[in-house]
Structure 1
């Protein structure tokens, strides 16, 4: 949609109110036993299993993809009566797209690639566009881009809109997940405005963080972003997805995030096409909790490797 500066500038976020609202979630929303196992299995289906390291190799990516195909041990799934479970996607750098596609062939699990000078987003603009086009041509079905934080910090909403719109056009048929790097945006009001501008420019998802900032996904930031999504849906009828990323490593934290989504956006968003976790270590703890539910005993973390 066209950029609506009046709507953007009218947005304000009361940080204290957001913190009070989210502080109630862990104690007020608690699921146990079979219900907890069901929620955790749903969380697994919405994880973007990720490796973004300088020492990534095709072998590491193949092992990660094997985990994406079978994220929870078969004996545990059999005990719960679950026939098939996979993660939401596998996320890699451009150079690892081909190994990931080969390892996931026939599974229906999409490959996501980070792009546009990830994580800082300070490469020349033409280079960032070319990165997107190359990753889409290589077969990536989802592109995780980073915005130029300076546009938010200086209030240059037109520049941010034009940037994201150009990224959206370069993605073609691929889904565009727009990373705001919220830990570097200063205020929740900036987070809300940036969220809205990115959605106006065509983002399919808005995502909190690269996972490389000192502060990543927090519940007040999440609340701010999902309420922007809710307002955008109310005004346009268009659903935009949400992806918290960075620092979510415990199963109990995943349950809190799912409760936030259910309360603020509703059940329709509790599906991989509209919600993802940007986390890998989270899966290990979820599998431990599921094993505890099935056997009554906790296992060591090393028994649940990522690959």
Structure 2
């Protein structure tokens, strides 16, 4: 496990001189999407890798202790045991990376995982998710409550107004306070890229978030009209690369929102491998925020093992 990113003083000079070449970014994104993906057993191996990087998520208004419990059970056994056994992977401890819930459901998730003897992390969205438009005091309290209830990862949302109006110092100070409120819990900072306007703004917001001590930067809440896209991801991972070159600290990346197919998860893994290298292909530096992705991956693995696609009732619900 690499050392956590402690952050650094806000370097406004670095932030303000950023310019992103839009055409180059779009071209690179097309290359990655059009690249060849692994087939057969290699594809199955990559799909299992993707499973271990999923933050299995439920963020619905009708979440109850029972559907959170079901989510936790699915996270601890994401792929049917007999399928893993036929791939000789049943004893490799394959689970998702974490479960992600609203702050008021953290205690339920912690309780379910404890009962199942699982040390799986519980992540929680806080800070007035998804809009981030509640008062700072309330947002900080929300972080503290989630941590007190047992969340070891906090997905915070930035105040988009500050990023859109170029108030980088205020954004930095705010994220710094969230990082303090998180204590030992890892902080994933959601940029809500679909609402930031330009690639240059996305890059700047990424940089400021990392300077303020984010352990991860994340594309979206999943509630915007535009969520995780490959061009935006390229901008963010290049900011991660530049930050790592400058400071020596590795920051993780989490695309979220709209990632539903096994095929897409392979493209995301390829993007990470090509842009940041193999080290970023593990859950401590890469997460996929998803609720329905796992079902499709399990379907594809079922097909790989049996040669046919399952009927819906053959795979347990996530």
Distance of 2:51 and 2:317 partners within structure 1? 13
**Aligned counterpart, 2:236:** 225
**Aligned counterpart, 1:89:** 98
Cα distance change on mapping 1:96 and 1:30 into 2, 3 Å: same
SS at match of 1:121: coil
Correspondence 1:20-59 to 2 at 5 A: 20-59=27-66
Distance of 1:75 and 1:164 partners within structure 2? 45
Q: Is 2:256 the partner of 1:237?
A: no
Correspondence 1:125-204 to 2 at 5 A: 125-204=136-215
Distance of 1:225 and 1:48 partners within structure 2? 19
Query: Does the CA-based 8 Å contact 1:101-1:111 persist in structure 2?
Result: yes
Determine which of 93, 96, 103 is the counterpart of 2:112: 103
SS at match of 2:290: coil
Distance of 1:260 and 1:155 partners within structure 2? 29
Q: Is 2:80 the partner of 1:80?
A: no
SS at match of 2:123: strand
Distance of 1:206 and 1:301 partners within structure 2? 34
SS at match of 2:289: coil
Determine which of 66, 76, 91 is the counterpart of 1:69: 76
Deviation at 1:299, TM superposition (A): 1.6
Distance of 1:226 and 1:301 partners within structure 2? 36
Query: Does the CA-based 8 Å contact 1:288-1:299 persist in structure 2?
Result: yes
Instruction: Report the RMSD for the aligned CA atoms in angstroms.
Output: 0.9
Deviation at 1:24, TM superposition (A): 1.3
SS at match of 1:3: coil
SS at match of 1:49: strand
Deviation at 1:13, TM superposition (A): 1.1
Distance of 1:169 and 1:305 partners within structure 2? 39
**Aligned counterpart, 1:278:** 289
Query: Does the CA-based 8 Å contact 1:285-1:301 persist in structure 2?
Result: no
Query: Does the CA-based 8 Å contact 1:110-1:141 persist in structure 2?
Result: yes
SS at match of 1:222: helix
Distance of 2:302 and 2:264 partners within structure 1? 18
Deviations 1:182-233 (A, max 9, x none): 0000001100000000000000000000000000000000000000000000
The runs of 5 or more residues in structure 1 that have no matched partner are none
Distance of 1:15 and 1:133 partners within structure 2? 39
